[in-house]
């Protein structure tokens, strides 16, 4: 996977209702996705199945 998001502060996203709701809506096909959301949506299934084997 890309290392572009290695320094993202996940707690900041989880603590921001607007961001969290936006990502959630994207992931469950209830809202538009940003390019970052699209990449997350594309990556999560494989990461979960593989135990994040390709994660950095």
More confident residue, 55 or 39: 39
- Radius of gyration over alpha carbons of the chain, in Å? 12
- Whether the per-residue pLDDT at 28 is higher than 90: the answer is yes
Residue 27: pLDDT band with limits 50, 70, 90: very high
CA distances (Å), origin 46, targets 13, 28, 49, 55: 22, 16, 5, 10
Report long-range pairs for 31-40 (Cβ below 8 Å, ≥24 apart): 36/5, 39/2
Mean pLDDT of the residues in the chain: 92
Domains along the sequence of the chain with CATH: 10-49 (1.10.2080.10)
The per-residue pLDDT for 30 is 98
- Whether the per-residue pLDDT at 52 is higher than 90: the answer is no
Nearest alpha carbon to residue 36 among 5, 3, 1: 5
Cα distance between residue 34 and residue 54, in whole Å: 23
Check: CB of residue 26 under 8 Å from CB of residue 37: yes
Task: Please report, rounded to a whole number, the percentage of residues in the chain having pLDDT higher than 90.
Answer: 73
């Amino acid at each position: 996977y890309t290392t572009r998001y290695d320094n993202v502060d996940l707690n900041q996203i989880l603590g921001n209702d607007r961001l969290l709701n936006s990502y959630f809506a994207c992931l469950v096909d209830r809202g538009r996705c940003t390019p970052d959301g699209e990449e997350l949506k594309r990556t999560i299934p494989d990461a979960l199945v593989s135990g994040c084997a390709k994660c950095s």
